[in-house]
């Protein structure tokens, strides 16, 4: 739309996305996000630049207060950028949101408790114009392993099952990008491991670009094709690194020397943050 | 998982067992009621309490039989006043709550007035309304409505606002419009709050109708209570009071039934 007229906060014109190449699913350039007003101003993110390749699985790791969630929320048009630019599939976040280019999975499943699992999955098709392309809600419930529980109310499902419904709901609009903000943070470890393995399967089957915030080093290393590490106070990029593991991963791979070396390296980096 | 060991259980025929279950569940309550009625009867007999002072349960039962026609005739106006007041008072409260939630200016302007109206004792408002609207149905319906109004307003405002920030984030990511958020989220999530208020209102609206009838009316259970009291017809008075209580119970049961059909989930169930 108005790409050619966009400027950053310092008044310099931002070149249109087309001129910068289209490879990136998400491009973040010199992003600042601040909260509050002058004396109490908090800088949540400072000069963050990163390019997320199309179809990649990127985990975001960092100490608390480093703005992991804020970065996701800025990409999702839930908080405004104070400076800098964000391109989501070559569009500004608000436009990408209206086009249903991305879906968001929250830490809480945020299901509507009066709707059945199936009705919750179909919610995105009923609001905000619905979007033109969509997947079959029933097939998605099967994809996340909830076949047969279509008519269960959220109150009748376990925490892990509810988060599965939330993932199916996120996939119903066939988004190019899936933003996952600590989706398994509130789950027990066994459920979490199982969902981690299934997340990799869903990623392979759907080809979606996934941005995944986590507190857990093993989770970040196991899921991520790339790890984006942020440092705190103010939130900034510490490192954007590729994880040298084959894309087909099993839970047992986490006990290999290779994997342990990676998590040890991540832990060391995290301590420097 | 290994198969669980089956413990053989004596199986009663299903119909019988359901009756027994019900007897066990309701038994203590029924026994307590029967015991209290028996005690009342014994006290009246034992101390030779005169009937105009306190009639015995048997005398009240007889009054029900002798005055069935009168009670029935006076039941309907009170029922209509209470029911219409219930509907009107709650509709106004719901509409106002919706307005308050959409406009904080409206809430700041009118909520204090609503609180003020609520602080005026209903019994003090009744004569004023009778003076304005006369002896007909109108003042009774208004008073019954007035008594329902405030709890519903407060609960409905709370219910409409009881949407978690995370759910609102979700609706924003889905680019949902304000009206979509209202119809798909706010209204639904307010229902448990609304029904909590409607249950209160279902019994208080009967009180409102009866109080209004005391002030000025020739018909209805309220008028009958006044008449029976002045004529020392105590058994009829008691029978009327029980009829009024029955009316309130019926209203409460109707609201509970509607709730069980409309709200299949509990608030605070899930996030």
Question: Using one digit for the tens of pLDDT, what is the confidence trace for A51-62?
Answer: 999 999 999 998
Residue bearing the bigger pLDDT, A149 or A8: A149
Between the alpha carbon of residue B196 and those of residues B156, B159, B162, the distances in Å are: 10, 10, 14
A138 versus B8: which is more confidently predicted? Answer: A138
CB pairs < 8 Å spanning A and B:
77
Best of B164, B165, B168, B174 to disrupt the A interface (most A CBs within 10 Å) is B174
Which residue in the set A100, A106, A153 is minimally distant from B264, CB to CB? A153
Cα–Cα distance list, B184 to A35, B138, B163 (Å):
30, 36, 11
pLDDT digits (tens, 9 = 90+) for A244-269: 888 788 888 888 888 999 999 999 98
B175–chain A Cβ distance below 8 A for any pair: yes
Contacts B163 to A, Cβ<8 Å? none
Which among B166, B170, B265 has the least Cβ separation from residue A155?
B265
Contact A112 B185 (CB under 8 A): yes
Give the separation between CA B107 and CA B100, rounded to whole angstroms: 5
The pTM assigned to this predicted structure is 0.79
Starting at the edge strand found earlier in the chain, the sheet holding A177-181 runs: A102-105, A177-181, A209-213, A57-61, A226-231, A236-242
Note whether B265 contacts A114, CB cutoff 8 Å.
yes
Omega cis (within 30) before A148:
no
Query: Across the interface, do A155 and B266 touch by the CB < 8 Å criterion?
Result: yes
Higher pLDDT, B192 or B265: B192
Question: Does the pLDDT value for residue A22 go beyond 80?
Answer: no
Domain B67-262 fold = MetI-like fold (1.10.3720)
Give me the numbers of helices (H) and strands (E) for chain B, helices first please. 11, 0
Q: Would you call A49 helix, strand, or coil by DSSP?
A: strand
Q: Which residues in B lie closer than 8 A to residue A76 (C-beta atoms)?
A: 173
CB A137 within 8 A of CB A120: no
What pLDDT, in 10s, does the model give residues B206-223?
Answer: 999 999 888 878 888 999
Cα(B126)–Cα(B122) distance, rounded to whole angstroms?
6
Chain A residues in contact with B264 (beta carbon < 8 A):
114, 153
Residue B13: the pLDDT is 55
CA contacts within 13 A on the Cβ side of B9 = 6
**How far is A34 from chain B, CA to nearest CA, in Å?**
19
Shortest distance, CA B175 to any CA of chain A (angstroms): 5
* Cβ contact A154–B167 (<8 Å): no
Highest mean pLDDT among B63-72, B124-133, B193-202: B193-202
User: Which pLDDT does position A14 carry in this prediction?
Assistant: 44
Q: Rounded to whole angstroms, what are the CA distances from A249 to A91, A109, A222, A245, B238?
A: 33, 26, 7, 8, 79
Classify the complex by whether its ipTM is higher than 0.90, answering yes or no: no
Which of B184, B190, B191, B271 should be substituted to probe chain A, the one whose Cβ sees the most A Cβ atoms within 10 Å?
B271
How many CA atoms does the CB half-sphere of A157 hold within 13 Å? 30
Q: What are the tens digits of pLDDT across the range B6-59?
A: 555 555 556 677 778 877 888 888 899 999 999 999 998 888 888 888 888 888
Q: DSSP H helical segments within B50-186, as ranges?
A: 57-66, 68-102, 104-119, 122-133, 137-161, 165-173, 178-181
Chain B residues with CB under 8 Å of A102 CB are 173
Report the pLDDT value the prediction gives residue B11, as an integer from 0 to 100: 54
Residue A2 has pLDDT above 60, yes or no: no
Q: Is B169 on the interface with A (CB under 8 A)?
A: yes
Helix (H, G, I), strand (E, B) or coil at A85: strand
Condensed to tens digits (0 to 9), the pLDDT of residues A236-248 reads 888 898 988 887 8
- What does the mean pLDDT of chain A come to? 86
**How near does any CA of chain B get to the CA of A102, in Å?**
9
Would the CB atoms of B169 and A155 count as touching at under 8 Å? Answer: no
- Which of the listed ranges A14-18, A98-102, B91-95, B130-134 does the model predict with the highest average pLDDT? B91-95
- What is the set of domains in chain A, with CATH numbers? 23-101+178-187+195-273 (3.40.50.300), 108-174 (no CATH)
Contact A97 B270 (CB under 8 A): no
Nearest CB partner across the interface for A97, out of B167, B173, B265: B173
Locate the chain B residue with the closest alpha carbon to A93: B173
Residues 6 or more apart whose Cβ sits within 8 Å of residue A244: A258, A262
Question: Which SS3 state, helix, strand or coil, does residue A59 take?
Answer: strand
CB contact under 8 A, A111 and B188: no
User: What local confidence, expressed as pLDDT, does residue A165 receive?
Assistant: 95
Residue B191 structure tokens: 């229902």
């Amino acid at each position: 739309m108005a790409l050619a007229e966009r400027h950053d906060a310092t008044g310099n014109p931002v070149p249109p996305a087309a001129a910068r190449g289209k490879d990136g699913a998400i491009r973040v350039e010199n992003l600042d996000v601040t909260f509050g007003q002058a004396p109490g101003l908090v800088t949540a993110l400072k000069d963050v630049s990163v390019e997320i390749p199309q179809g990649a699985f990127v985990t975001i790791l960092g100490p608390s207060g480093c703005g992991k969630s804020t970065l996701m929320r800025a990409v999702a048009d839930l908080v405004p950028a104070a400076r800098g630019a964000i391109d989501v599939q070559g569009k500004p976040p608000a436009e990408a949101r209206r086009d249903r280019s991305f879906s968001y999975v929250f830490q809480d499943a945020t299901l509507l408790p009066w709707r059945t699992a199936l009705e919750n999955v179909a919610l995105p098709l009923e609001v905000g114009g619905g979007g033109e392309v969509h997947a079959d809600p029933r097939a998605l419930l099967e994809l996340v392993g909830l076949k047969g529980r279509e008519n269960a109310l959220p109150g009748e499902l376990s925490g892990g099952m509810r988060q599965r419904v939330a993932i199916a709901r996120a996939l119903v609009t066939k988004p190019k990008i899936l933003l996952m903000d600590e989706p398994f943070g509130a789950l027990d470890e066994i459920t979490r491991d199982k969902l981690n393995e299934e997340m990799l399967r869903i990623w392979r089957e759907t080809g979606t670009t996934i941005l995944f915030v986590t507190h857990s080093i093993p989770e970040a290393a196991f899921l991520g094709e790339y790890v984006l590490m942020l440092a705190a106070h103010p939130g900034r990029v510490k490192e954007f690194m590729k994880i040298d593991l084959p894309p087909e991963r099993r839970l047992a791979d986490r006990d290999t020397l290779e994997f342990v070396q990676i998590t040890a390296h991540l832990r060391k980096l995290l301590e420097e943050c | 998982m290994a198969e669980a060991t089956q413990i053989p259980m004596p199986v009663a025929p299903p119909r019988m067992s359901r009756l027994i279950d019900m007897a066990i569940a309701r038994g203590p309550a029924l026994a307590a009621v029967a015991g209290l009625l028996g005690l009342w009867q014994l006290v009246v007999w034992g101390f030779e309490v005169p009937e105009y002072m306190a009639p015995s349960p048997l005398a009240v039962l007889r009054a029900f039989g002798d005055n069935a026609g009168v009670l029935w005739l006076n039941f309907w106006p009170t029922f209509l006043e209470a029911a219409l007041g219930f509907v009107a008072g709650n509709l106004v409260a719901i509409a106002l709550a919706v307005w308050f939630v959409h406009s904080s200016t409206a809430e700041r302007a009118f909520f204090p007035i609503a609180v003020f109206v609520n602080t005026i004792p209903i019994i003090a408002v009744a004569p004023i309304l009778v003076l304005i609207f006369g002896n007909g149905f109108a003042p009774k319906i208004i008073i019954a409505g007035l008594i329902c109004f405030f709890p519903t307003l407060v609960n409905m405002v709370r219910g409409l606002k009881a949407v978690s920030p995370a759910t609102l984030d979700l609706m924003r990511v889905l680019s949902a419009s304000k009206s979509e958020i209202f119809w798909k989220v706010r209204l639904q999530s307010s229902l448990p709050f609304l029904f909590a208020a409607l249950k209160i209102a279902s019994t208080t609206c009967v009180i409102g109708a009866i109080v209004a009838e005391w002030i000025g009316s020739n018909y209805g259970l309220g008028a009958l209570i006044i008449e029976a009291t002045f004529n020392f017809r105590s058994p009829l008075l008691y029978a009327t009071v029980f009829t009024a209580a029955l009316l309130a119970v019926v209203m409460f049961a109707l609201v509970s039934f509607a709730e069980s059909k409309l709200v299949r989930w509990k608030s605070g169930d899930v996030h």
